[in-house]
């Protein structure tokens, strides 16, 4: 074995070549060219934000969108970390004097962290092992002799290696086996082959721990469950992992008991080389089987469990992110005076009126229900507030007593003369979190916590985005096993969703709160607060340029944020659009070519009909930017969100007990999971439209059909009052296929598959389901860090 000189130079070549390799890898993964990736990386490394790059640097990146850019950023971090690890491994092995040309080449070609670690395993500093002790006792030559002299009895060979430390042939052979086992468990090629084999062939099996049937009843679908590791959906994997963490089930990940295990054993034996049936071959074959059974099968279990956990986390995070995006970009009801009602029975209905800008005008507590039963007083107060403040919208929280409150409001509106306000039931998920937050305390220091929730409910009807950004995404209630997943990764992904949503809509600089401004590209909490403080002291901003007067806001931050901030009726008409100040000259050239005042052109598409974008391309701004400018001049500051629409709940259907199969109802999609969509139909418990029931065609991804906030018509197919489960369908057959699918799922491989998310650990209503006040998706506080270890312990107990 010879040390390879200048190994790092050989393995990674030059730093720019390493960067090139990273760029090629990412380009393939996001469907772009290496040149696009290099340009995007340069911008990100230079401090540019994803929204800014996606919107204002299209020429530079070739039009990469925000989704591609965020994937690029994630992969860039992973691959750079991997290159750093590669360098560390090379330096470690080289320092030991054990580097070879072949090993250096293998390390250079490793394309995942797992492969790198497999290659490093034999050289990784480790604690004293049985194999080390066996080598110290002189047993390595015994292993070599067994391999070389296959025709001799290994026990006879072992007699020549006895000593004070090794007193019997059995001890000697066990020591030789320990050395062989260590060699096999550090064989990178074998580990890679076994890992690939297991990913294709392994089955994941869950078995209830005897005596835990009653305690773990919510996991009953997984008491005797088995399916392919490669295809298990994330929601079922997460449910099984949580059941294992709570010590309700044990988990096994293994190939088929006979044929699969034999194939794995044969792979291990092949790595040793046992072609015949001589005594030495048989001993080596037995040693290979022992190594698989005792060492490698457990190693593969840990690897696949870890991979399953990572994969499931990513899928769950993606589901959460998509639902959050849909919720944030839900249609705003608009700038109108709004009465917010936070329903309650014993503690009363909390009421708050806000004006068209969201400013609090009045609060009250109403007691229309038990024990006070002051219905007339409550109705009179609502009528009084509506008349005094010109209320156009009434937002009713969807928690406890929501339907009773809605009925009371409907009766009140019948008594009002003239045009009546529109009543809307809105999700109050997270309202209590906002009410008790430091932000709410600063905003309403004199207001009771319970009344702050009514303010939030009113505002989220006016503009969901502006209000929901004040609440941590995890509290909004659209996740799937959100407390079980990697919390750092979850927070990172959700922050990206919020940032993209805020910047896609744009922010009114003179109206926005600090929490909303903090998500604008290039700002953050401190600069957002500085902007609000400056606005409070000096009054409204009359131009975007005036932002540069804000303490701490320099040219770089201005470049990133300016295009996403809007100023209505300011000195510069373009400040009301998404045209970036750096491109105002282009916009003015377009206006000049039309021969009219800019105010006569903005918002009038007919004035720009004869304009050709190609005529205004220059060395700074290409065709994509010019087209965006023309689009903004046609519809300045356009809101990408849909028009407002609300569901109408059926009269007399207020509780799950009121439901009957065959009922056709209208509802609002509250949450979309991998297995289907949850719909609020006004009974305080969401119903589930399984993915197979979303349309009269095959649907792979529920997001193809519905998104959070959609108003849909559904038919009730199943009502399970004790378990609080409601089955719904959106198919035209009204549920016939739903019953057939349910029978098929219940009779599927391994018993009930849990395909409709019925295991329950996701909170009431199944995984991601929502119980009263939208608290269900969290499904408890199980942390993610211990899930893998606890599952491993459960499996070890089983073994």
Q: How far apart are CA 354 and CA 349, in angstroms?
A: 16
Q: How far apart are CA 645 and CA 168, in angstroms?
A: 83
- For residue 746, the surrounding DSSP H or E stretch is helix 736-746
**Helix-strand-coil split of the chain, %, nearest 5:** 55, 10, 35
Q: Report the 10 Å Cβ neighbour count for 381.
A: 20
Q: How far apart are CA 10 and CA 26, in angstroms?
A: 23
pLDDT at residue 228 tops 80: yes
Compute the average pLDDT of residues 331-343: 91
Strand order, beta sheet including 360-366: 360-366, 349-354, 338-342, 393-397, 422-426
pLDDT one-digit tens code per residue, 607-664: 777 788 888 888 888 899 988 888 888 888 777 888 887 778 887 888 888 899 999 9
Predicted local confidence at residue 257, as pLDDT: 87
Question: Which among 412, 525, 560 is positioned nearest to 47, based on CA atoms?
Answer: 560
SS3 719: strand
Q: How far apart are CA 715 and CA 385, in angstroms?
A: 38
User: Are residues 418 and 430 in contact, defined by beta-carbon separation less than 8 angstroms?
Assistant: no
Domain segments of the chain as ranges: 7-123, 130-304, 338-462, 656-778
Q: What is the DSSP letter of 581?
A: G
Compute the average pLDDT of residues 354-377: 92
pLDDT at residue 766 tops 80: no
List helix spans (H) across 415-506.
431-435, 438-443, 449-462, 464-468, 487-505
Quote the tokens at residue 568: 């209505």
pLDDT one-digit tens code per residue, 689-711: 999 999 989 988 888 898 888 88
pLDDT at residue 338 tops 70: yes
Contacts of 747 (CB under 8 A, 6+ apart): none
Q: Report the 10 Å Cβ neighbour count for 515.
A: 21
Q: Which residue has the higher pLDDT, 215 or 777?
A: 215
Provide, rounded to the nearest whole percent, the portion of the chain with pLDDT above 90.
50
User: Are residues 163 and 301 in contact, defined by beta-carbon separation less than 8 angstroms?
Assistant: no
Compute the average pLDDT of residues 711-720: 92
Least confident window among 148-157, 411-420, 513-522, 541-550: 411-420
Q: Report the 10 Å Cβ neighbour count for 701.
A: 12
Compute the average pLDDT of residues 22-36: 91
Question: Which among 189, 207, 186, 185 is positioned nearest to 197, based on CA atoms?
Answer: 189
Query: How much is the pTM?
Result: 0.76
pLDDT band at 737 (very low <50, low <70, confident <90, very high): low
Asked, colleague to colleague, whether 130-304 and 656-778 share their fold, the answer is no
Predicted local confidence at residue 12, as pLDDT: 40
pLDDT at residue 363 tops 80: yes
CATH superfamily of 7-123: RuvA domain 2-like (1.10.10.650)
Q: How far apart are CA 246 and CA 248, in angstroms?
A: 6
Strands annotated E in 651-696 = 664-673, 676-680, 687-690
Question: Which among 219, 261, 209 is positioned nearest to 796, based on CA atoms?
Answer: 209
387-412: b (≥16 Cβ within 10 Å) or e = eebebbbbbbbbbbbbbebbebbeeb
Predicted local confidence at residue 503, as pLDDT: 93
Locus of tokens 């108003």: 711
Q: Which fold has domain 338-462?
A: Nucleotidyltransferase; domain 5 (3.30.420)
Q: How far apart are CA 337 and CA 668, in angstroms?
A: 24
CA atoms within 13 Å, Cβ hemisphere of 200: 8
576-590: b (≥16 Cβ within 10 Å) or e = bbbbbbebbebbeeb
Locus of tokens 């009054």: 539
Q: Which residue has the higher pLDDT, 1 or 391?
A: 391
Q: How far apart are CA 614 and CA 590, in angstroms?
A: 11
pLDDT at residue 772 tops 80: no
pLDDT band at 793 (very low <50, low <70, confident <90, very high): very low
Compute the average pLDDT of residues 149-170: 93
Q: Which burial class, exposed, middle or buried, applies to 261 when counting CB atoms under 10 A from its CB (0-12, 13-18, 19+)?
A: middle
Locus of tokens 């009779």: 747
List helix spans (H) across 207-296.
234-245, 259-272, 279-291
Q: Which residue has the higher pLDDT, 484 or 49?
A: 49
The strand pair at 349-354 and 338-342 is best described as antiparallel
User: Are residues 686 and 767 in contact, defined by beta-carbon separation less than 8 angstroms?
Assistant: no
pLDDT one-digit tens code per residue, 261-304: 999 999 999 999 988 889 999 999 999 999 999 999 999 999 99
- For residue 679, the surrounding DSSP H or E stretch is strand 676-680
Q: Which CATH class is domain 656-778?
A: mainly beta
pLDDT one-digit tens code per residue, 564-609: 999 988 888 999 999 999 999 998 888 888 877 777 777 777 777 7
User: Are residues 524 and 557 in contact, defined by beta-carbon separation less than 8 angstroms?
Assistant: no
Predicted local confidence at residue 159, as pLDDT: 93
Q: How far apart are CA 27 and CA 567, in angstroms?
A: 38
Q: Which fold has domain 130-304?
A: Tex N-terminal region-like (1.10.3500)
- For residue 680, the surrounding DSSP H or E stretch is strand 676-680
User: Are residues 437 and 470 in contact, defined by beta-carbon separation less than 8 angstroms?
Assistant: yes
Question: Which among 76, 43, 77 is positioned nearest to 58, based on CA atoms?
Answer: 43
Predicted local confidence at residue 111, as pLDDT: 85
Compute the average pLDDT of residues 17-25: 84
pLDDT at residue 789 tops 60: no
User: Are residues 187 and 121 in contact, defined by beta-carbon separation less than 8 angstroms?
Assistant: no
pLDDT at residue 754 tops 80: no
Predicted local confidence at residue 743, as pLDDT: 61
Q: How far apart are CA 552 and CA 556, in angstroms?
A: 11
- For residue 676, the surrounding DSSP H or E stretch is strand 676-680
Q: What is the DSSP letter of 650?
A: P
The alpha carbon of 481 is separated from its chain's Cα centroid by a whole number of angstroms, namely 10
Quote the tokens at residue 319: 């589901």
Q: Which residue has the higher pLDDT, 749 or 646?
A: 646
Compute the average pLDDT of residues 389-396: 93
Q: How far apart are CA 799 and CA 791, in angstroms?
A: 12
Predicted local confidence at residue 38, as pLDDT: 92
Q: Report the 10 Å Cβ neighbour count for 38.
A: 18
Cis geometry, peptide bond prior to residue 371 (ω within 30 degrees of 0)? yes
Compute the average pLDDT of residues 706-717: 88
Contacts of 26 (CB under 8 A, 6+ apart): 32, 37, 72, 75, 76, 79
pLDDT at residue 498 tops 60: yes
Question: What is the average pLDDT value for the chain, to the nearest integer?
Answer: 85
């Amino acid at each position: 074995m010879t040390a390879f000189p200048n190994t790092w130079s050989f393995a990674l070549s030059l730093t720019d070549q390493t960067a090139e390799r990273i760029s090629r890898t990412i380009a393939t993964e996001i469907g772009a060219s290496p040149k696009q990736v290099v340009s995007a990386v340069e911008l990100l490394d230079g401090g540019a934000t994803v929204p800014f790059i996606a919107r204002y640097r299209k020429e530079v990146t070739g039009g990469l969108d925000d989704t591609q850019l965020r994937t690029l950023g994630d992969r860039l971090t992973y691959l750079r970390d991997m290159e750093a690890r590669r360098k560390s491994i090379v330096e470690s092995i080289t320092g030991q004097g054990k580097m070879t040309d072949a090993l250096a080449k293998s390390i250079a070609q490793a394309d995942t962290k797992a492969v790198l670690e497999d290659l490093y395993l034999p050289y990784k500093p480790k604690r004293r092992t049985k194999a080390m002790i066996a080598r110290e006792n002189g047993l390595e030559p015994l292993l070599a002799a067994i391999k070389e002299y296959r025709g001799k009895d290994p026990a006879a060979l072992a007699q020549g290696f006895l000593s004070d430390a090794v007193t019997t042939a059995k001890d000697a052979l066990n020591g030789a086996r320990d050395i062989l086992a260590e060699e096999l468990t550090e064989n990178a090629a074998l580990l890679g082959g076994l890992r690939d084999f297991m990913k294709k062939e392994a089955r994941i099996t869950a078995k209830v721990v005897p005596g835990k049937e009653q305690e773990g009843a919510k996991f009953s679908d997984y008491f005797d469950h088995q399916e392919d590791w490669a295809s298990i959906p994330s929601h079922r994997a997460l449910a099984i992992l949580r059941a294992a963490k709570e010590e309700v089930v044990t988990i096994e990940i293994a190939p088929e008991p006979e044929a699969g295990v034999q194939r794995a054993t044969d792979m291990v034996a092949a790595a040793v080389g046992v072609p015949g049936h001589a005594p030495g071959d048989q001993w080596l074959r037995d040693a290979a089987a022992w190594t698989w059974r005792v060492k490698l099968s457990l190693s593969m279990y840990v690897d696949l469990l870890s991979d399953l956990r990572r994969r499931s986390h990513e899928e769950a995070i993606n589901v959460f992110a998509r639902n959050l995006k849909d919720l944030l970009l839900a249609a705003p009801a608009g700038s109108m005076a709004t009465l917010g009602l936070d329903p309650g029975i014993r503690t009363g209905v909390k009421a708050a009126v806000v004006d068209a800008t969201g400013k609090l005008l009045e609060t009250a507590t109403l007691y229309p229900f038990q024990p006070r039963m002051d219905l007339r007083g409550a109705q009179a107060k609502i009528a009084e507030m509506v008349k005094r403040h010109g209320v156009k919208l009434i937002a009713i929280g969807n928690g406890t007593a929501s339907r009773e409150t809605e009925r009371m409001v409907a009766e009140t509106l019948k008594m009002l003369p003239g045009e009546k306000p529109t009543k809307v039931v809105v999700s109050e998920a997270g309202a209590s979190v906002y009410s008790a937050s430091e932000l709410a305390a600063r905003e309403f220091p004199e207001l009771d916590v319970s009344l702050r929730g009514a303010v939030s409910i009113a505002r989220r009807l006016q503009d969901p985005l502006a209000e929901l950004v004040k609440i941590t995404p995890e509290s909004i209630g659209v996740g799937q096993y959100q407390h079980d997943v990697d919390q750092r990764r979850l927070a990172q992904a959700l922050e990206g969703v919020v940032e993209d949503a805020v910047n896609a809509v744009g922010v009114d600089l003179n109206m926005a709160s600090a929490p909303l401004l903090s998500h604008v590209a290039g700002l953050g909490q401190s600069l957002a607060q500085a902007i609000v403080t400056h606005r409070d002291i000096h009054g409204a901003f009359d131009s975007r340029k005036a932002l540069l007067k804000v303490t701490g806001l320099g040219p770089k931050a201005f470049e990133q944020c300016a295009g996403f901030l809007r100023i209505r009726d300011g000195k510069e008409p373009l400040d009301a659009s998404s045209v970036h100040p750096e491109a105002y000259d282009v916009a003015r050239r377009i206006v000049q070519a039309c021969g009219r005042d800019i105010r006569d052109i903005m918002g009038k598409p007919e004035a720009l009909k004869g304009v050709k974008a190609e005529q205004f391309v220059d060395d700074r701004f290409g065709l994509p930017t010019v087209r965006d400018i023309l689009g903004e001049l046609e519809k300045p500051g356009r809101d990408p969100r849909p028009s407002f629409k609300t569901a109408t709940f059926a009269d007399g259907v207020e509780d799950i007990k009121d439901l009957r199969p065959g009922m056709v109802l209208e509802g609002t999609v509250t949450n979309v999971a991998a297995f289907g969509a949850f719909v609020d139909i006004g009974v305080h418990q969401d119903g589930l439209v399984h993915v197979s029931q979303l349309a009269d065609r095959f649907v792979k991804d529920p997001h193809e059909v519905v998104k959070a906030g959609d108003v849909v018509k559904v038919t009730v197919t199943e009502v399970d009052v004790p378990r609080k489960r409601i089955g719904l369908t959106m198919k035209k057959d009204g549920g016939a296929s739903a019953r057939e699918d349910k029978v098929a799922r219940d009779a599927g491989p391994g018993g009930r598959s849990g395909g409709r998310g019925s295991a329950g650990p996701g909170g009431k209503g199944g995984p991601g389901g929502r119980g009263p006040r939208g608290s269900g998706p969290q499904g408890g506080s199980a942390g993610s860090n211990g899930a893998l270890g606890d599952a491993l312990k459960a499996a070890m107990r089983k073994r």
